[in-house]
Amino acid sequence: MAQMGMKDIKRRIRSIRNTRQITKGMELVAAAKLRKARNRFEETRAYFETVVSTVRDIAAGSSSGKNPFLEEREVKRELFIVVTSDRGLCGGYNVNVIKEVISRLEDGKEYAFIAVGRRGRDYLRARGYELAGDYAGISESPQYADARQIGDIAAGMFREGRVDRVSIAYTRFVSTISQEPRVMTLLPVAAGENEAQGKTEDIMTYEPSPEAVLETLIPMYVHGSVFGALVEASASEQAARRMAMESATGNANKMIDELILSYNRARQEIITREISEIVGGAEAIE
């Protein structure tokens, strides 16, 4: 029985070592992708934040009745752009952002979704939610053209009155070890809280008018916001996957150490028993 037990232990050690090789390799791949995604995120962050703040500052001094994207309406139907990953093995990355969206759903209201990533799409589709768009295969390396398509669908639905609010749910990149789910309202455009609004109006004039400028800037704002969220989510996904694979590799090492200890104990028991049998046999002969 001891021999069979040792064979089972050796088999498990071999299996876990093979798994550890896979998780270690995936960890290294995710780390390389994270460096690339983080550099891209840092390059786009300034543009993303500038466009958002500029549009909101102009909206603060504009008449909401002259632009449909500034119109505050009673929210009876809302569109969520949900950004998840196309692949798993990234810890709670997908679960956290989906939970954040579900927690905001209210009884008595209608909802539509644009799913970015297979994980979010599969979750929403399995529960019968309406999908206004489905973008799979772009989560790890989103392009601006993807953001334009998504933004145009969302803006069109808002302009036509098919939804009363557009929000985007994605994972905010805090650091390589911390990522947070976030929901940001895209439309209607929220006016910025500009403490120096009076001074700004004195030194800045919009021609032909703030409303005309917003007509050009708001599509850029929507596209830029969606693209910024996609890029930031891409960096968050790789960071979450690297952490998950690092944890899996560590757990594999711990299991291997415990199994080796069990193997050595079983081996020691066999040796001790054999020695006892030899000693007992020698005493019997005497």
What is the model's pLDDT at position 191? Answer: 66
The predicted structure's pLDDT at residue 198: 45
Per-residue model confidence (pLDDT) at position 150: 96
Residue predicted with more confidence, 208 or 147: 147
Strands 178-187 and 77-83: unpaired
Average the pLDDT over 112-120 and give the result.
96
- With contact defined as beta carbons under 8 Å apart, do 142 and 227 qualify? yes
Question: Which pLDDT does position 197 carry in this prediction?
Answer: 44
Range of lowest pLDDT (126-130, 253-257, 264-268) = 264-268
What average pLDDT score do residues 31-49 get? 90
What fold characterizes domain 44-244?
Answer: Pyruvate Kinase; Chain: A, domain 1 (3.40.1380)
> For the residues 4-26, what does the mean pLDDT come to?
89
Phi, psi of 146 (to 5 degrees): -65, -45
Residue with tokens 């929220």: 190
pLDDT grade, residue 156 (50/70/90)?
very high
> Is residue 135 over pLDDT 90?
yes
Q: Tell me the CA end-to-end span of the chain in Å, nearest whole number.
A: 31
Is 207 tagged catalytic? no
Has residue 27 got a pLDDT over 90? yes
Question: For the segment 221-239, what is each residue's pLDDT rounded down to a tens digit?
Answer: 999 999 999 999 999 999 9
Q: Is the pLDDT of residue 175 over 60?
A: yes
Give tens-digit pLDDT for 49-77.
888 888 888 877 665 556 788 888 899 99
Whether the pLDDT of residue 283 is over 80: the answer is: no
The stretch 251-261 carries a mean pLDDT of 93
CATH-assigned architecture of domain 2-23+246-285:
Orthogonal Bundle (1.10)
Residue 2 has pLDDT above 50, yes or no: no
Q: Indicate if the pLDDT at residue 172 is higher than 70.
A: yes
- What's the angle, vertex CA 52, arms to CA 49 and CA 55, rounded to 5? 145
Domain boundaries, given as residue ranges, for the chain: 2-23+246-285, 44-244
Q: How large a percentage of the chain has pLDDT more than 90?
A: 63
- For 46-50, 106-110, 111-115, 128-132, which range has the lowest pLDDT when averaged over its residues? 46-50
Q: Which residue has the tokens 């933004």?
A: 151
Distance between CA atoms of residues 59 and 193, nearest Å: 10
Which segment of 144-148, 177-181, 271-275 scores lowest on mean pLDDT? 271-275
Does pLDDT of 200 surpass 60?
A: no
| 2-23+246-285 and 44-244, same CATH topology | no
Of the residues 26, 51, 90, 124, which is catalytic? 90
- Residue keyed to tokens 């196309």: 86
Looking at residue 130, its pLDDT comes to 92
Q: What pLDDT score was predicted for residue 213?
A: 74
Only one residue has tokens 């009884």, namely 107
